[in-house]
Chain A
């Protein structure tokens, strides 16, 4: 073993030169990075290592929990009363709509039965609190206080009261990590409510969303509502996602469509993790293995 700038006489046993070891480690790190970022092969290693880090993480999150609970404890009575009144008003509003919704759902099921269509997919959901922003500054992610033990799975949609905020990307035993829609590497398949035009919505990394792969002559106007299309087999169809802000058709063969998320993506606190109760049947076998 030798250290940098220190040349022992050759009668002693020498390890690899420091520079050689540096290149070895750097090469190893690059392999890891490519395997993780490009191919996502390393989730097993991650889970293995998290056996060591998990107790430390739990211990480290205690101070943050204390601060959060203290803030809740010392909140004033007036705030709580105001919030309570607001919630009651909201409850009345929602309750009335729910009454109608029950009725409509029954009617819908009957009509679908008459037409011999397959039933609408069943939905299951888990309520969760957002604990904090994930510390990785290069991505937009948040941590939820529900995990695998409460039935959260990777790929489920996360919604707040107004619409979709993101997708569960990694699940720990009692926490899970959600990538927000505004992240640059996140995308979500949507359709326009008004006419059913389909497209894919991408995050821009600046807080807004962009709908890509839509031809310039397609009928989309500013103000259109976008909902999840459910064609991916992952998201539940019909969840509100965004509103079209502007459409620029001059740029290219494809229109440039800027959208604004409906949900308070970077601000919401209480969310719902929504998923299909059963996955749809796999696509026909004509496609080659391993591709979607």
Chain B
């Protein structure tokens, strides 16, 4: 797999432990108690969408479901709220996987933004139906800040795969 399908650079295969490590790191970031500050990115959704696009054969709805439940437990949200959103997000990201990688990264972010918004919309629909209160439109800012982070995050998460097969101490990366 390559950074984008147009570029000629060939990456190392991904290591599955790194995928799960990055997901757990995102979970840790998600748990940082920030109160109700609007516009903070949904780290788990972002990293999950990234790996669903990159590795559609390995990462999909099952992983989304499990991490959704973990987010629900940690944030004290309704059980299944994030799980539902992440399952749908993972499905759609898998669907996009073969198309998105032909685009440069800012256009990839534009592809992912509607998915993130849809995930948030699903969560809001579920909670409003259950009698929760409307959190205000600033709730949806979170998707936009997540989409902004797409490009730097994809660089960061692909770093381990940029390494050459043979170790060369003179090579910068």
Contacts and interface: CB of A to CB of B under 8 A. Distances in A.
B128 interface: yes
Nearest to B29: A60
A57 B74 contact: yes
B133 A138 contact: yes
Q: What's the interface size class on B, roughly? A: 35 or more
A135 B75 contact: yes
Q: What's the interface size class on A, roughly? A: 35 or more
A184 B27 CA distance: 29
Contacts of B87: 22, 25-26, 29
Contacts of B81: 33
Interface stretch (A43-51, A81-89, A92-100): A43-51
A245 interface: no
Interface string B9-53: 000000000000000100111111111100000000000000000
Judged by DSSP, the binding face of B is helix
A184 B33 contact: no
Contacts of A137: 36, 135, 139
B172 interface: no
A46 B70 contact: no
A22 B70 CA distance: 19
A28 interface: yes
The 4 A-B residue pairs with the shortest CB-CB distance, nearest first, are A32-B80, A138-B132, A205-B133, A60-B31
20 contacts: A1-B57, A3-B97, A29-B84, A31-B80, A33-B79, A33-B84, A37-B78, A37-B130, A38-B130, A49-B69, A52-B70, A57-B74, A60-B29, A60-B32, A63-B32, A133-B36, A134-B76, A138-B127, A138-B135, A205-B134
